């Protein structure tokens, strides 16, 4: 089902689309349906072909490589945003990474290096991207990122990524406060388990996904389309008045006690 909302005079930057299953792409699809002009950034040259394929039928798009942990890449990316759009209405941060070694064993054994990598890529980059975007953001513009309930409760093997998501949620509140005067809104979407590349790298994700479907209030997992629609709501004027929040779209998984 599509939502009727006109964003034809709006611009967005979506960071972190690896393929058609990416939550960033589900969000971009809703923005494109609404007529928004969308720029995409991808981490490595490896993903360029995939992005070109996804965007080829969408004339209002452009793509650029940018590793969100590399300052020069962000400088070049936001210079491109300025050149293409002049100003920016929506920033979508859909980026996370933790080394496999940090998700296989005990949380207790997390190394400094793995901690720094996970928190840098998955949380700090939101702050860095928001700072680069600041001069381009119009009054009333909006930022969203993606988080997961392992920030609040222990999810086996999620380990340091749970800590990174807790940092991302706290960063969302602090950024919302800094941007508040200009009524620029910052929120994070807490999505239920979805079958994406990033999710597949979590040991035991298949079991977690099946358990999620059994336990959720709806008896199924939320879909990436539902994530896209929530993002559309939060980014657009429909979400005015909402900032600094972690908003769940998980088919009622996080409200339930575990059945099995």
Under DSSP, is residue 186 helix (H, G, I), strand (E, B) or coil?
Answer: strand
Map the footprint of ligand NAP across residues 147-176, applying CB under 6 A. Answer: 147-148
Active-site residue, from 124, 148, 209, 248: 148
Nearest to 189 by CA among 154, 239, 237: 239
68 near ligand NAP (CB under 6 A): yes
51 near ligand NAP (CB under 6 A): no
Sign of the dihedral defined by the CA atoms of residues 249, 192, 256, 149, in that order: negative
17 near ligand NAP (CB under 6 A): yes
28 near ligand NAP (CB under 6 A): no
Q: Residue 211: which residues within 8 A CB-CB, separation 6 or more?
A: 258, 260
Contact residue for ligand NAP among 32, 88, 194, 222 (CB under 6 A): 194
Question: Kind of pairing, strands 61-65 and 37-42?
Answer: parallel
How many Å is the Cα radius of gyration of the chain? 17
The number of C-alpha atoms within 13 Å of 125 and in the hemisphere containing its C-beta is: 30
Contact residue for ligand NAP among 11, 43, 61, 151 (CB under 6 A): 43
Active-site residue, from 124, 158, 174, 248: 158
206 near ligand NAP (CB under 6 A): no
119 near ligand NAP (CB under 6 A): no
Q: Which residue, 88 or 208, is less far from ligand NAP as judged by CB? A: 208
204 near ligand NAP (CB under 6 A): no
Q: Which residue, 77 or 181, is less far from ligand NAP as judged by CB? A: 77
123 near ligand NAP (CB under 6 A): no
Q: Is 209 a catalytic residue?
A: no
| DSSP state, residue 246 | E
- Specify whether the CB–CB gap between 75 and 120 falls below 8 A: no
Q: Which stretch binds ligand NAP (CB under 6 A): 95-103, 110-118, 126-134, 171-179?
A: 95-103
Contact residue for ligand NAP among 7, 13, 23, 249 (CB under 6 A): 23
Residue 10's CB: how many other CB atoms inside 10 A? 24
Distance CA 83, CA 81 (A): 5
Q: Is 148 a catalytic residue?
A: yes
143 near ligand NAP (CB under 6 A): no
Our measurement of the distance from residue 53's CA atom to the centroid of its chain's CA atoms, rounded to an integer in Å, reads 21
- Specify whether the CB–CB gap between 145 and 121 falls below 8 A: no
Residue positions annotated with a catalytic role: 148, 158
Contacts with ligand NAP, residue ranges (CB under 6 A): 16-18, 22-24, 43-44, 47, 67-69, 94-97, 121, 146-148, 191, 193-194, 196-199
């Amino acid at each position: 089902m599509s939502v009727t909302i006109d964003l034809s005079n709006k611009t967005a930057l979506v960071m972190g689309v690896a393929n058609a299953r990416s939550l960033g792409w589900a969000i971009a699809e809703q923005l494109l349906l609404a007529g928004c002009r969308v720029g995409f950034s991808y981490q490595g040259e490896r993903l360029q072909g995939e992005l070109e394929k996804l965007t080829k039928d969408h004339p209002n798009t452009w793509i650029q490589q940018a590793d969100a942990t590399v300052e020069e890449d962000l400088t070049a990316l936001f210079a491109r945003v300025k050149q293409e759009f002049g100003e920016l209405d929506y920033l979508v941060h859909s980026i996370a990474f933790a080394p496999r070694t940090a998700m296989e064993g005990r949380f207790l054994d997390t190394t400094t290096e793995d901690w720094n990598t996970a928190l840098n890529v998955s949380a700090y980059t939101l702050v860095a991207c928001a700072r680069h975007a600041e001069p381009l953001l119009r009054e009333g513009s909006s930022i969203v990122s993606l988080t997961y309930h392992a920030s609040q409760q222990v999810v086996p093997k999620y380990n340091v990524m749970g800590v990174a998501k807790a940092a991302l949620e706290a960063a969302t509140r602090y950024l919302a406060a800094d941007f508040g005067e200009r009524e620029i809104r910052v929120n994070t979407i807490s999505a239920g388990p979805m079958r994406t590349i990033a999710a597949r790298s979590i040991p035991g994700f298949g079991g977690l996904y099946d358990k999620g479907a059994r336990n959720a209030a709806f008896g199924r997992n939320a879909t990436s389309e539902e994530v896209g629609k929530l993002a559309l709501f939060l980014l657009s004027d429909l979400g005015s008045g909402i900032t600094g929040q972690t908003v769940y779209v998980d088919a009622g998984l996080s409200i339930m006690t575990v059945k099995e």
